Structure 1
């Protein structure tokens, strides 16, 4: 049975009064260890974010699940990441969240604090197997000494590259610092004649800012919720993307045209900085046989700027009518060797030993595993659990990056707006 560590501090999204009002609808955990009757006919709703590739993997996983549990009908639905959370907020306000949800680390505390998620502790060690999961992995889903989520996998920040476009441009694989990355991307853009670009403005992603801060011995936010940067540092970061916005990177309007794909996903950029579990979707959408995955630009040599994070978790609604069946589904999706075989590293490297053993790692999955081994000297301790409201700030950062790309806002105004939003979130 899992003996929980002290919960890591702070996390989630500021979704306002809607979630707070919904919070009174929490569910009580059973007094005795629950068991599941496999003959009971039940229907569960399962929601996740992703694309058509991930949706097909979930369909395969549910079909395998139904071979073991034919009496549990699972209805699935998926959306892009921002739309997924918009819908969850609406459902939370109405008290009708899906039974089982793929869940992001950044949103866990807000939903759990508002009693919207089921306490999973009574299911650990019986319905939900814990032996295959290291204690630090189990601790990821703990808030206030209660387990609300089970991590499926881990991943790391990396740089994906398109080898076909690099070959066309006559450019070698990337290695170097942030200025080297700008120069490298510019060389690709020049070589490819303006219809394809070297990358996109990396300053639109808060994670790139975070790894620079970590290289400098700082952080985005401390465990107490204090920012590790000031207006000047954020100004410097956003100004460093000016060359990308001035022609090296794909124009923002062109990026809008290919949504919901990214520029890299659509084949119009040769690189993208993102989490390393995006590779399977990229290969499928690009229709190529191989993809590059290398370390992101270096800010300071020898710094422990990178880290492993939970790529996602699974949670259960506190109002589910079938908690035992829902826990059975979560256990399958996290621990089953069949689930590991189906998903590979689409959700990140499986956190469960049994799921990882079941995964017949294809070349891309092995590439991800090798990549994470290759950055071992840059891997430091994971940052504190994201502060309450982190999801809101991450999305605000992205939106301001888009406006900078369109040229509809100055860096000075973007910094002012972000700090104003941060002041509201941190002091609510």
Structure 2
């Protein structure tokens, strides 16, 4: 991977493997020889995000010669599992990238530092208060949003245009999306999309378009077995018709764009978040464009703007001030923002966003233009999911695997999921 690597960078961008910290990497908040502070910083993402992050970290180290940053990254699924193991063992990295669905779990589990205690170092006054509040649990600021993102349908421009199927417009319903995927499959000889049945995120968009939600304000399920049966029947029918990816491809999904059918060249589209969709640019020779997620049949939008990801600090770090300095740099430094671009979503610092906006190029510009096209059209985001949702994402995909391999009917799998979900949310 081109670009800067810190002295302890131990992840291969080609392998996308989150490394175990070797003896030379240092423990959380360790001080190296000569009074140098060593911070461990981990994130998930694609090689593009990693290359940019490494360059930004190099700039931070240049500005802070007394701090060394040991970095590692992986695809989302591997990252999530690794971080859970580290957190359970009291060995969470000093600075860590977090998903919306991890905030409650790690805050309530005592993993995250109260960042309100670092106000002298960590500035948050230029972040929209509503967006900033999404990183709070019980009125304590445990995480800071790093960017604003939304879901999208990323597609292979050349293949779609060659098919003769009309390109997507400013909006479409789920029925129109399904008809389009069937047409693409017929014209191109490969599935129109990654099967969305395995994705809790896509299901949430579908639910919201029907006036429902994934969770209630009290943290219970906001849908029934009938709702989930209808969703999985819809996607299973498309899979059986070859309009979306087969089980053999869908079960290879691991959170990285490289292992999606679109990334492998075996489908025309993929539903993903806009920032990680940048990874498709290096994989799809025909170029990649973004379309909105489908809406409800009455036009009600299901997608929403949300913090694309957060950054938090370990409650057990030996150097909370230095860790907060790194967080402040990632959020508020203009030069860092120019390096990072939209790789983690559009910047949350409003001054920084206005400053770098006109200079965005390539896929960063694609993301900015896509978000601008949705301004004023989306509903408010839901509150952060309850802590049990982190585990339920895997349960959701596992239960749908039973459907896609014809081991369970959509109804059987839905009832099984509802039972397990209620038990997880009570625990």
CA distance in 2, matches of 1:358, 1:421: 45
Q: Is residue 270 from structure 1 mapped to residue 268 from structure 2 by the alignment?
A: yes
Per-residue Cα deviation, 1:253-286 (whole angstroms, up to 9, x for no partner): 1345686521112222111112111232110222
Structure 1 stretches (4+) deviating beyond 4 angstroms?
Answer: 255-260
Matches for 1:25-424 after TM superposition, within 5 Å? 41-124=36-119, 126-175=120-169, 176-193=172-189, 196-246=190-240, 247-256=242-251, 260=256, 261-288=259-286, 290-356=287-353, 357-358=355-356, 360-424=359-423
1:102–1:315 CA contact under 8 A, matched in 2: yes
Q: Aligned with 2:113: secondary structure?
A: coil
1:18 matched residue in structure 2: none
Residues 412 and 300 of structure 1: is their aligned pair in 2 closer, same or farther, counting only changes over 3 Å?
A: closer
Shift in Å at residue 377 of structure 1? 4.5
Q: TM-score, normalised by structure 2?
A: 0.85
Shift in Å at residue 320 of structure 1? 0.6
Shift in Å at residue 418 of structure 1? 0.5
CA distance in 1, matches of 2:233, 2:90: 43
Residues 328 and 284 of structure 1: is their aligned pair in 2 closer, same or farther, counting only changes over 3 Å?
A: same
Q: Aligned with 1:221: secondary structure?
A: coil
1:223–1:385 CA contact under 8 A, matched in 2: no
Shift in Å at residue 317 of structure 1? 0.6
Shift in Å at residue 248 of structure 1? 1.6
1:305–1:378 CA contact under 8 A, matched in 2: no
CA distance in 2, matches of 1:305, 1:377: 13
Give the stretch that moved more between structures: 274-283 or 370-379: 370-379
Shift in Å at residue 398 of structure 1? 1.9
2:262–2:268 CA contact under 8 A, matched in 1: yes
Residues 409 and 339 of structure 1: is their aligned pair in 2 closer, same or farther, counting only changes over 3 Å?
A: farther
Shift in Å at residue 244 of structure 1? 2.5
Residues 90 and 361 of structure 1: is their aligned pair in 2 closer, same or farther, counting only changes over 3 Å?
A: same
CA distance in 1, matches of 2:274, 2:201: 13
Per-residue Cα deviation, 1:324-360 (whole angstroms, up to 9, x for no partner): 1111111111111122111211111111124322453
Q: TM-score, normalised by structure 1?
A: 0.85
2:26 matched residue in structure 1: none
CA distance in 1, matches of 2:146, 2:79: 18
CA distance in 1, matches of 2:87, 2:308: 23
Residues 188 and 216 of structure 1: is their aligned pair in 2 closer, same or farther, counting only changes over 3 Å?
A: closer
CA distance in 2, matches of 1:308, 1:345: 14
Q: How many residues are aligned here?
A: 387
Shift in Å at residue 51 of structure 1? 2.2
Q: Aligned with 1:388: secondary structure?
A: coil
